[in-house]
Amino acid sequence: MSNWKSALLAGAMAFAPVHAAAAPKEAPLAEAVAPADDQDEVNSEAEMANAKAKMQKEIDQAIAMIEKIFGVDKLPPIAPAQLALAQQTTTALVPPGSLAKMIDNMYGKFFKGLMGELGGMSDLMLSIKTGVESEKIEALDEKSKTAIADLFDPQRQQREEQAMNVIKPLITEALGDLEGPMRNGMAHAFARKFTAQQLGEMNAFFATPTGKAYADEWMALQADPEVMLAMVKAVPPLINKFMDRGPEIEGKLKDLPKERQLADLSDAELVKLAKLMKVDVKTLKENRDAWKTADEDATEVTMDAADAAADAATAAADAAGDWDPSFDRENWSEADRTRVEELETAASEASSAAYDAEQAAIANARKKKPSK
C-alpha cells in the first residue's frame, strides 16, 4: 500500500473506533485472481470505506442527539427575507479565508514557536534525551543548547519547516470547506437573535471601511498571541479564587442531599423500580444486598484503622510530656511518630481498599443478567 494511502487511513482511524478498521471479507474470486500487491490495495480501500462509514454513522448519531437536546429540529422556520439579511451579515463576518487567517496567528507564530521548543530546544526535552538534570541544562547558554539539540537531530529545523509546508495547505483547504457551513449556521442563529432593523444596521456598518476592517480581523484576533497570553495570565487568579472560596463552597454543598444508591431503596421502591426497568425484582434485591454488605465491610475496616491512628496520636502526645493542643509532632518520639504515620498510612490504604471493594461489588452486581 502506498505511503500516502497509509497516512490517509491512519488519519481516518483517528476519528473512528478501532473495530472500524476490520477489513470485510472479499469475494473468493477476487482473492484468487488478485496479485498480492493489488489485493493489499483492495483491502486498504475497503478498510478506508468502512472507516468512513463508521465515522459518518457516529456523527449522524451525535447530530441527532444535539438536535434532541437543544430542540433545533423543532424551531420554527425563518422568513426568507430575514434569513437573507442574516446571510449578508455572516458573509461579512466570515469572509473567505478568515478561518485560515485565525489559524495563521497560531500556526505561523504560536505553533511554530512551540515546535521549536518541543523539537529539542527546551530544557525539559534536553533533560529527557540526555538524562542530565534540567537545572544543569538551564544553566547552559542558548548556543550550547542548540549545539546539543543538533547532535541529536541535525535536520531538526528542516524537518519542522517541511512538516509545516505539508500540513498548512491541508489545514487551509479544510478550513475553507468549513467556512460555508459555519456561515450558514451563524446566519440562522443571527436571523433568530436579531431583528431585521438590527441586521440592516450591522450590514450598513460592515459596508463601511471601518466595518469591513473589523469584519476581516475579528475572528483572527481571537487567536492573536497577545489575546492568548492575556488569557493564560488570567488563569492563576481564577484558580486562586476557587481555592480561596473552597471552604465556603464545600459548606454550601454539604447541605445538599446525596444521590441515592440501590442500597438505599426500600422493598417497595425496588418493586416500583423493577416494573419501570422490566426486570425481576429478585435480581434488584440481590444486587442491593450485595452492595449493603460491601458498604458495611468497608466502613468497619476504615473505622478500625482510623481508631488505631487516633489512639496512637493520643499516646504520642502524652509521651511528649506537656499536653500540646496543636499536637505538634516535633514533640513526639521517633518511635511514636513512626507508629502514627504507619497507622495513618494503613488507614488511608484501608479506605482505598474499601472503595475498590465497593466498586468491584458494583461491577459484579452489574454483570448479573436480570431474569426475564
| Tens of pLDDT, residue by residue, the chain (372 residues) | 444 344 333 343 333 333 333 333 333 333 334 455 566 666 788 888 888 999 999 999 988 888 888 888 888 999 999 999 999 999 999 988 888 888 776 666 555 555 555 444 577 777 777 888 878 888 888 888 878 877 887 777 777 777 777 777 887 888 888 899 999 999 999 999 999 999 999 999 999 999 999 998 998 888 787 888 888 888 888 888 888 888 887 777 777 677 788 888 888 888 888 888 888 888 888 888 887 776 666 666 656 666 666 666 565 555 544 444 455 777 777 887 787 777 777 777 777 777 777 777 777 777 665 544
Would you state the torsion angle of the CA atoms of residues 216, 217, 219, 222, taken in this order, to the nearest 10 degrees?
180
Place of cell 458494583: 362
